[in-house]
Amino acid sequence: MSYRSSLSAVLADVVAPAAEVTGGQGRFPRTAVTALGRAGLLGLTAAAPDGGGGRGRAEAAEVVARTASVCPATAAVLASHFAAVAALGVYGSVWLRGEIAAGRHLATLALGDGGPGERAPAGEGAERWPPLPGEGGPAAVRSGDVVTLRGRRRGVVAAGEADSYLWLSEALEASRPTRPQAPSGSSRRLAGGDGGTLWVVPAHASDLFVPARPCGGGPGGSGTSTVCADPVLVPADAMLGPDGAGLEIVLGVVRPWLLELTDAMAAAAPRAGEVALEDGQLAGACPAGGRSEGARPGRAPSVDGRSGAPGSGEGGLRVGRSAGTLAPT
């Protein structure tokens, strides 16, 4: 069966019947995501040698557009997944690429901070928000084979629902160029300093959480929210590409996919496309002058898409997808 036929079947049998509940009640489309995976659509753009569909941006944009016309939330999840897979397919481990190709792994982007000078909104447990890069210590520190990541990422689609996050941090201390003291606060951003480093952060990592009252956005049900690392420990081999080359990978690999997929969403469902980029998978990661002028942080909070998620007991929701979504080290 072709991917178009598979998509038609999933849209008619699974996505469309749940679209009203997904959008109206803000319920993450877990059943739809599972069905898309089983139909080979989550692995559509994974490389053929890895077992995937081997398709490119044009086919992914077609899938996103057709899905957006039925359920904008599901389309937003697919767009973020395909954009993340563009990098994971090049820099991810063999095991992870195989899981994506098999449709068993949902990836998403966690690239943008809240922008210069932003703090946790009142009442959102400010004491639980980790410092931004440049505020209170390095955002990535290596000790032996373990790296400590700190920070928060806004506008994350499928927050608390994805199996892994493409996470952009500052470069490790040893790789940072010597430069004058950066300005105080979050004005020391990746685009104005080092090139950053990309990591794949598993959802089951301890102390990765979604605030109880997050800064949301995105189509209702897309689970668009803030994700915090407070801190998170990852193995050193979770690094994607060279240390310090993260922003180059984001701009050269991830960004073209995200922009084309967002355009596809906008053509099929204008509101979905507007919000998808407005809440900025690339906000805080793109340098001034790029397409990211569409990313305008600071929209009103929306319903968190995680239905039935346990509270962390500390003012937030643990991300907590099932353990083992990334290969053990």
Report residue 168's pLDDT band, with 50, 70 and 90 as the boundaries: very high
pLDDT of 211 reads: 83
| Distance between CA atoms of residues 208 and 234, nearest Å | 11
Q: pLDDT tens digits, residue range 77-106? A: 999 999 999 999 999 999 999 999 999 999
- Whether residue 134 is predicted with pLDDT greater than 50 in this model: the reply is no
- Please tell me whether the overall predicted TM-score, pTM, comes out greater than 0.75 for this model: yes
What is the residue whose two structure tokens read 């989550």?
42
Q: What's the mean pLDDT in 109-136?
A: 49
pLDDT of 251 reads: 95
What contacts 157, CB < 8 A, 6 or more positions away?
76, 77, 79, 80, 108, 109, 218, 222, 223, 224, 276, 281
| Distance between CA atoms of residues 237 and 223, nearest Å | 28
Output 50 or 304, whichever has higher pLDDT: 50
Q: What's the mean pLDDT in 146-150?
A: 95
Half-sphere exposure for 250 (CA within 13 Å, toward CB): 31
Report residue 132's pLDDT band, with 50, 70 and 90 as the boundaries: very low
Output 111 or 118, whichever has higher pLDDT: 111
- Whether residue 49 is predicted with pLDDT greater than 70 in this model: the reply is yes
Structure tokens at 99: 């899981």
pLDDT of 292 reads: 33
- Whether residue 55 is predicted with pLDDT greater than 90 in this model: the reply is yes
Contact 133, 152 (CB under 8 A): no
pLDDT of 139 reads: 81
- Whether residue 269 is predicted with pLDDT greater than 90 in this model: the reply is no
Output 231 or 292, whichever has higher pLDDT: 231
Contact 108, 78 (CB under 8 A): no
pLDDT of 278 reads: 45
- Whether residue 74 is predicted with pLDDT greater than 50 in this model: the reply is yes
CA angle centred on 217, ends 40 and 59, rounded to 5°: 25
User: For all residues of the chain together, what is the average pLDDT?
Assistant: 77
| Distance between CA atoms of residues 87 and 119, nearest Å | 30
pLDDT of 164 reads: 97
Report residue 306's pLDDT band, with 50, 70 and 90 as the boundaries: very low
Report residue 53's pLDDT band, with 50, 70 and 90 as the boundaries: very high
pLDDT of 230 reads: 87
Q: What's the mean pLDDT in 282-288?
A: 49
